[in-house]
Amino acid sequence: MKLSPERISSFCHPAARQVAVKVVDETGSTNADLLAALPTLATPALLVARTQTAGRGRAGRSWLSTPGKSLTFSLAWKFDAPLQALVGLPLAVGVALAETLDMFNVNVRLKWPNDVLYEGKKLAGILIESAAAARPDQSWAVIGIGINMALNEELIARIDRPVANIPWLADLDQDMLMATLLNRLAEAMEQFGQEGLAAFVTRWNNLHAYAGKSVTIIDHGKTLHEGIAVGVDAIGRFLLDGAAGRIAIMAGDVSLRPSER
């Protein structure tokens, strides 16, 4: 995969020009690397790995990828807001990813809280890890993203869950693709910093994969709730119409699945 930090930066729009771009041949986890580097960062930073050997997903799961067939990267962004203000950030990132992919005529939908689906299968995942900044009124978010492009059958079997891949994405100019993603993400982060989740709620609900469908909320294999998916509210909680009425669910480590009926 030919990825050049200089060329990626050359395609950046104003919001993304403040981001320091770095590309490495191989690392364990781009999120872990940026979290460790936060005390030394003077600006937002993007770290792209051609190969990631210990990628991480939500709830301690691994993110498996293949060199040149997946796009794996992390963006460290400082907000002029305390940590609690970052609630709902995964939804904003999901919207930014979906809107970017739409520019390439890839029509995706969003699964709460942080999956991007293509034809009902997982195309991309988001892992956000936050950290306090030196000042109490500031905070960092490290936004890890993995996008499947051209997975082989062996890797699909190892993942052992429905995954999507779009092989022709791997044939695109990868610097242009990465820059397009970075542009939209940087613009979304600026908007989130200024307006909060409110700027993204309607957009997320318009992209909701399971609106009006029967779903199950699961925690470590145990069913917590069943009902009809509504969408997300103003603070990012998932709204579900169950037998006892409407309930609002915070993310935590729970998983949403379509009900098998």
Q: Is 122 designated active site? A: yes
Delimiting residues of CATH 2.30.30.100 domain(s) in the chain:
214-258
- Of the candidates 179, 145, 3, 146, the one whose C-alpha atom is nearest the C-alpha of residue 75 is 145
Cα dist from 32 to 38, 57, 74, 143, whole Å: 10, 12, 9, 11
Q: Is 58 designated active site? A: yes
d(CA 117, CA 72): 17
- 112: CB partners within 8 A, 6+ apart: 91, 208, 232, 238, 251, 256
CATH number, span 5-206: 3.30.930.10
Question: What does residue 9 show for φ and ψ, rounded to 5 degrees?
Answer: -60, -35
State residue 59's pLDDT score. Answer: 45
Q: What is the pLDDT of residues 145-175, one digit of tens each?
A: 999 888 766 555 555 566 888 989 989 999 9
State residue 60's pLDDT score. Answer: 47
Q: Are 75 and 220 in contact (CB under 8 A)?
A: no
State residue 50's pLDDT score. Answer: 87
Pick out the chain residues at pLDDT < 70.
1, 54-68, 152-162, 251-254, 260-261
Q: Is 257 designated active site? A: yes
State residue 97's pLDDT score. Answer: 97
Catalytic residue among 2, 121, 213, 257: 257
d(CA 160, CA 209): 21
Catalytic residue among 56, 122, 184, 237: 122
Pair of tokens at residue 102: 């739409």
pTM over 0.85: yes
Delimiting residues of CATH 3.30.930.10 domain(s) in the chain:
5-206
d(CA 191, CA 210): 26
CATH number, span 214-258: 2.30.30.100
Catalytic residue among 50, 58, 109, 237: 58
